[in-house]
Amino acid sequence: MTASFDFSSWPPQLTPGQLEALTLAATTYALSHGLLYLPPSNSISNTQPRIPTTAIHAPLSLFPSPFPRAQFEAARRLQSVYNVLYARVAMDTEFLDTVMGADAGVGKADEFTGTLWRGWKNIREHGVVQPLHLGLFRSDYLLHDVGDRLGLSLKQVEFNTISSSFGPLSERAAAMHRHILASTSYLSASPYLTAENFPENSTSSGLAEGLAKAHNAYGVRGARILFVVQPNERNVFDQRWLEYELLEKHEILVIRQTLAELAVSASLVPSTHALTITLPSSSSLTNQPATYEISTIYFRASYTPSDFPAPSYYDTRFLLERSRAIKCPSLPLQLAGGKKVQEALTRPGVLEHFLGNEGARWCIGARDLIAFPTNICGTWMGMWALSISEPPRTRLARREAASLVLKPQRKGGGINVYREAIPAFLDSLRAEEREAWIAMEMIETPRGVGEYLVRA
Amino acid sequence: MTASFDFSSWPPQLTPGQLEALTLAATTYALSHGLLYLPPSNSISNTQPRIPTTAIHAPLSLFPSPFPRAQFEAARRLQSVYNVLYARVAMDTEFLDTVMGADAGVGKADEFTGTLWRGWKNIREHGVVQPLHLGLFRSDYLLHDVGDRLGLSLKQVEFNTISSSFGPLSERAAAMHRHILASTSYLSASPYLTAENFPENSTSSGLAEGLAKAHNAYGVRGARILFVVQPNERNVFDQRWLEYELLEKHEILVIRQTLAELAVSASLVPSTHALTITLPSSSSLTNQPATYEISTIYFRASYTPSDFPAPSYYDTRFLLERSRAIKCPSLPLQLAGGKKVQEALTRPGVLEHFLGNEGARWCIGARDLIAFPTNICGTWMGMWALSISEPPRTRLARREAASLVLKPQRKGGGINVYREAIPAFLDSLRAEEREAWIAMEMIETPRGVGEYLVRA
C-alpha cells in the first residue's frame, strides 16, 4: 500500500450482482471451513441446545481492510516486546497491588477487580505452587490519522491478557479472502487486491503451540488441558479449532467445563495441589466416573462480572488458581490486562522500569529492550486515570470530552462512554466510582473507509 | 474383523449420557469440517436462498459400520476392473442400442431412457467431436449373509456412472470417526474400534484428479470446468469441496450452472464445437458479460426425469453433448449405468465379451481381465428383466416376490418396489411398461446390525 492510498475509496464500488457473486463465494467458503458461530437461541431462556445441529457463518467482511504494510510489520515486531512487558507486569506484585489492588488501586472502586485481587492476595499469602504462567495475548490496534503531513500511525486500543478470542476464526477469514481472490480475482476491483497483499495467518497453530508448551512444562503423562468456557457460548468454533489442533498436532486432550460445572467436578489433591476433574460416567463405558489431572487451564470465561453470578463462582475461580496447573492466564496476568495498567504504563519512567532493566532474564536481551520504549510509547494515545484526589483530571475529561473515550476496568464491548456522552456520565458517577475509569484520547481512524460487512 | 464377528452386537450399547457425549463430538466435528447440508427450505416454493447463511450437519452415523476387511479390499481391487468394464460398455454402441435403445431396448418402455438414447443417436449420426469421456463411478455394495457356513459375500446394489455423490462428504465422515476415536476412544465401547480398523479415505483428491485430467487432456489454457447442478440443491458442500480442491491443487476454476441457466448461457462455437458459457456482468467489474470456454462438463444433474421439466431442457443437455468439452459422463456412459445394463451383464457370455477380449487396449492387460469375470460375477445377485415376450419371467417375479426387489431405469432412492408389494404393483403395470423394470434378488444383510444415526 503506497503512502497515497485513498482510504475513502474503500471498499471498491460493486453492482448488486457483483456484490451477490462475492458474498456467495464468501459465505459458502465460511460455512464449509468452520468460520462459524452457533445461531442465536430461539428459546426464551436463551440457552443453546446441548448438541448443536446447525451453524451460521460468522460475521465477515467481504474485502480485507486496507492497512499499511509498514504499520502492520511494526505491530508484529512490537508484539514480542509487549509480551515481555506484560509478563514482567504480571510478576511485579508491588506494581499490581498499587495499580489494581483493592487497598491502593482501582480495586477500591471496581468491585470485580477488587474481588479478583483479594483472591489472588489470599492465595499468594498461602504460597503459590505453580511458578509458571501462560499468556496468549492479543494487542488490538487501529490506524490513527493525524493529518496528511504526519501520515498514519499504529495506535493501541487495548491489550488482552485473558480470553483473547478470534485467533482461529481470523485465520479462516484470511483464508476466505485468499479464496475469493483466487476464485474471482475480486472482479479486478482494485489493484491492491493481489496475493502479496494478503499476509499469511497461522494463528491457530501458534496458540495451540503455546498451550502445548505449558502442558509439556507441567509434564504429567495423561494430563489434560481444561478449557473454562461460558455457558451458552456461541463462539464455540473459535475454541474447537484449538481443541482439534491440540489433539491432531500435539496429541493433547481437552476437557471443556463451565465454572458452574467445575464447582462440582474440580478438586485439588491436598498433598500436591494437583487439579483433578471428575467427569460423570458418560465419559466411559465402565459406568464409573473418570478423573483426570489438569496440566493447563485455558480461560475463555471469568473475564467479566457476569461470569460470576454468585459468590461461589469466585470460590471456584480461586480453587483453580490455587492449583498446580498452569493458568492461562493466572490472576496476576489477568489483572495485568486492566485498563488502569495500560494507563499506568504511560506514566513517566514506568515503561523504562519494566523494559530497561534485567533484560537478560528474558528472551529478549536488555540491549534490545532499551531500544524499544520509544516504539512502544509510539503506539499509545494520551490517557489518564480519573481520580478523587486529583479533580483536575476529571475536569480535563469533561473539557476535552469531544475527543475522548472513558473506559472501565472491563473486557468486552458496549461498556465504554464516548465523546458527547461523557459529561452527563461523569455527573452520574459518585466521586469514588470515578477511580474505576480511565480517559483515553479517541483514535481518529482514516476518514471515509468502509467495508461490506456480511451477517447471517 | 474376525469371521466370528457378531453383527447383532453392533452398535455397542450406550447410556443416554454416553450417547450424548459421542453425538456432541460428532456433530461439532461435522459442523466445523464442512460435513454439511443446506437446511431444508422454509418457503412454500421450497427454494434455497441465493446466498446461504446457515448449514446443518449432514446425516451421519455415530459409529463406523462393521465391514469385513477381506470384502472391503476385494471391493477396492474390483473397482479398476469395473471401471474398465463400464468404459467398454459405453464404447459398445451396438450393445447399448440393443439394451437401452428406444427401438430394441428398454428405451421403448422407459421414456426418459428413450429420450436420452434418441438424443445420443442423433448426435452420433452427425459425428461425435470429442472422443474422450470421463467417468467418476461409484459401485454400491451391501454384505450378503448366506448363512453361517458360507459366510458373508460382497454384493453389488448398483453401479453409478453419473452424479456419483458423497465422495467428499464420506471422506469427512471417515475423518469424523477417526476424530471421535482419537478424542474419546469411543468410550472403549468395542475392541474393534481401533485406528487400524479405520481405513484411509481420500476420495476428494481422487475425484478432483479425474476432473483435472480431463481438463488437461482438453488442453485449453484459461478454460473452466462446468458443474451442471440442480436448482435448490441442498447437498452443495459435497460439490463445493471438489471446487475447492480443483482450485487449490490444480488451479482450475469452476462455473456452476443449472440446465435452466445453461439454456441462456451456453453456446457452441460453430467451427470448433467448443462450448462457451457467457456469464452476466456480475462476474467482472467491467460491466461486460464474460465468456469462458469449457473443458469438462461434470453432471450433478440430468440423471432423473425431474431434471427435465420441459422438452427444452433436453435440448440444452444435447447441446452440451454435441460440444467438444469432455463430458462426465457422456450420454453413452450415462446409459451404461442403466439397471438394464447391470442385468444384461449377467447374461451368459456378456461379461466375457467385454472383459475377455482386446484387453491390451486398456490399462489392465487381457490376461488380468480374463481372470476377473469370476470375481465380478461373484458380486452379483440373481436378476432378470421383465419382458412382454417372456411371460415366465414376470410369473417368476410374482412367485418369488418375497425375496425380490423390482427396479426401474432410474437413479435415486424411493423408486424401487420391494417384496410383498410386488404382485399388486405388477397388476398395475401395462404389459409394455414391464420392460422398464428388472427383478433382482434381495441382498440379505447380516441380521440385527444397527447404528446410531444422527440427523439435524
Q: What is the ipTM of this complex?
A: 0.94
Contact B282 A15 (CB under 8 A): yes
DSSP state of A442: P
Q: Per the structure block, which three cell numbers stand in for B247?
A: 482450485
Residues of B in contact with A184 (CB under 8 A): 283
Confidence of residue B1 (pLDDT cuts 50, 70, 90): low
Instruction: Give the pLDDT score at A42.
Output: 82
CA distances from B108 to A311, A339, B170 (A): 80, 81, 37
> Pseudo-torsion of CA A113, A48, A207, A172, nearest 10°?
-130
Q: How far apart are CA B274 and CA A321, in angstroms?
A: 70
Q: How far is B434 from chain A (nearest CA, A)?
A: 44
A34–B36: do the CB atoms touch at under 8 Å?
no
Give percent above pLDDT 70 in chain B.
Answer: 93
Q: Which residues of A are annotated as a binding site for Mg(2+)?
A: 158, 160
* Spatial contact of B217 and B258, defined as CB atoms under 8 Å apart: no
Residues B275 and B181 in one domain: no
| Cβ partners under 8 Å of residue B380, min gap 6 | B155, B156, B345, B346
- Residue whose grid cell is 459468590: A311
Is the domain of A124 the same as that of A218? yes
- State whether B171 and B227 are in the same domain: no
Residue A125: inside a domain:
yes
Closest Cα to residue A317, out of A226, A223, A228? A228
Nearest-neighbour CA in chain B from A217: distance (Å) = 22
Q: What is the pLDDT of residue A288?
A: 76
Q: Check residue B281 and give its pLDDT.
A: 72
What string of pLDDT tens digits covers the 456 residues of chain A? 556 789 999 999 999 989 999 999 999 999 999 999 999 988 888 899 999 999 999 999 999 999 999 999 999 999 999 999 999 999 999 999 999 999 999 999 999 999 999 999 999 999 999 999 999 999 999 999 987 666 899 999 999 999 999 999 999 999 999 999 999 999 889 999 999 999 999 999 999 999 999 999 999 999 999 999 999 999 999 999 999 999 999 999 999 999 999 999 999 999 999 999 999 876 665 667 889 999 999 999 999 999 999 999 999 999 999 999 999 999 999 999 999 999 999 999 898 888 875 543 444 444 455 555 568 888 999 999 998 888 888 899 999 999 999 999 877 667 899 999 999 999 998 888 888 899 999 999 999 999 999 999
Position A315 scores a pLDDT of 98
> A46 and A160 share a domain?
yes
Same domain, B57 and B171: yes
Please report whether residue A113 resides in a domain: yes
> Which pLDDT score, from 0 to 100, does residue A372 have?
59
Task: Find all residues with CB under 8 Å of B122, minimum gap 6, and list them.
Answer: B318
| pLDDT range class, residue B414, cuts 50, 70, 90 | confident
Residue A132 distance to chain B (closest CA, Å): 27
The percentage of chain B sitting over the pLDDT mark of 90, rounded to a whole number, equals: 80
Least confident of A16-30, A383-397, B21-35, B431-445: A383-397
Query: Which residue of chain B comes nearest to A57, CA vs CA?
Result: B53
Quick check: is B115 in a domain? no
**Is A187 close to B285, i.e. CB distance below 8 A?**
yes
Q: What is the pLDDT of residue A359?
A: 44
Q: Is there a single domain that holds both residue B420 and residue B431?
A: yes
Distance from CA of A6 to the nearest CA of B (A): 19
For A294, residues 6+ apart whose C-beta sits below 8 A from its C-beta are A223, A224, A225, A226, A255, A274, A275, A276, A277, A323, A325
> How many whole angstroms separate alpha carbon B163 and alpha carbon B138?
9
The pLDDT value recorded for residue A280 is 81
* Amino acid identity for residue A420 in this structure: E
Residue B355: what pLDDT? 84
Kindly provide the b/e burial profile for residues B248-284, where b requires at least 16 CB atoms within 10 angstroms of the residue's own CB: eebebbbbbbbbebbeebbebeeeeebbbbebbebbb
Q: Nearest Cβ partner of B34 from A27, A32, A455?
A: A32
- Please indicate, yes or no, if residue B145 is contained in any of the structural domains: no
Residue A187 belongs to domain with CATH number: 3.40.50.1760
Q: Are B7 and B449 in contact (CB under 8 A)?
A: yes
Contact flag B32-A34 (C-beta cutoff 8 Å): yes
Q: Which residues of B touch A51 (CB under 8 A)?
A: 20, 23-24, 27
Q: Are residues B42 and B168 in the same domain?
A: yes
Inter-chain contact B54–A182, Cβ cutoff 8 Å? no
pLDDT given for residue B412 in this prediction? 64
B286 and B430 co-located in one domain: no
Buried b (16+ CB within 10 A) or exposed e, A186-196: bbebbebbeee
Non-local CB neighbours of A20 within 8 Å, separated by 6+ positions: B50, B51, B282
pLDDT at residue number B172: 98
CATH number of the domain to which B429 belongs: 3.30.1490.50
With beta carbons under 8 A apart, name residues in chain A contacting B23.
51
- Lowest mean pLDDT across A6-20, B53-67, B206-220, B344-358: B344-358
Residues A366 and A426 in one domain: no
For residue range B294-324, list pLDDT tens digits in order: 999 999 999 999 999 999 999 999 999 999 9
The answer to whether residue B241 sits within a structural domain is yes
- What does DSSP assign to residue A147? -
| Facing residue for B57 by CB, picked from A29, A53, A455 | A53
CA distance A346 to A329: 23
Contact B252, B215 (CB under 8 A): yes
What's residue B363's pLDDT? 44
| Residue A353 domain-assigned (yes or no) | yes
- Give the pLDDT of residue B293: 98
Whether A165 and A183 share a structural domain: yes
The stretch B28-53 carries a mean pLDDT of 93
Q: How far apart are CA B307 and CA A153, in angstroms?
A: 58
pLDDT at B270 (0 to 100): 96
Closest residue to B21, CB basis, from A23, A182, A282 = A282
Distance between B51 CA and the closest CA of chain A, angstroms:
5
How many domains does chain A contain in total?
2
A184, three cell numbers: 474471482
Is the separation of the CB atoms in A99 and A344 below 8 Å? Answer: yes
CA distance to A147, B76, B161, B223, B295, per residue, from B328 (Å): 60, 22, 9, 16, 11
Does residue A2 lie in a domain region?
A: no
Q: Looking at the domain assignment, is residue A246 inside a domain?
A: yes
Contact B32 A244 (CB under 8 A): yes
Instruction: Work out the average pLDDT over B366-376.
Output: 60
Q: What is the pLDDT of residue B3?
A: 60
Task: Identify whether residues B53 and B174 lie together within a single domain.
Answer: yes
Residue A355: predicted pLDDT? 84
- Show residues of chain A in contact with B183, CB under 8 Å: 243, 247, 253
Do B51 and A456 lie within an 8 Å CB cutoff?
no
Per-residue pLDDT at B360 exceeds 50? no
Size of interface A-B (CB pairs under 8 A): 132
pLDDT at A289: 82
Domain of residue A309 covers 7-376+449-454
How high is the pLDDT of residue B289? Answer: 82
Tell me the range of A3-7, B26-30, B188-192 where mean pLDDT is highest.
B26-30
**Do residues B28 and B52 both lie within one domain?**
yes
Q: Are B414 and B407 in contact (CB under 8 A)?
A: no
Q: How buried is A386 (Cβ within 10 angstroms: 0-12 exposed, 13-18 middle, 19+ buried)?
A: buried
* pLDDT level of residue B286 (50, 70, 90 thresholds): low
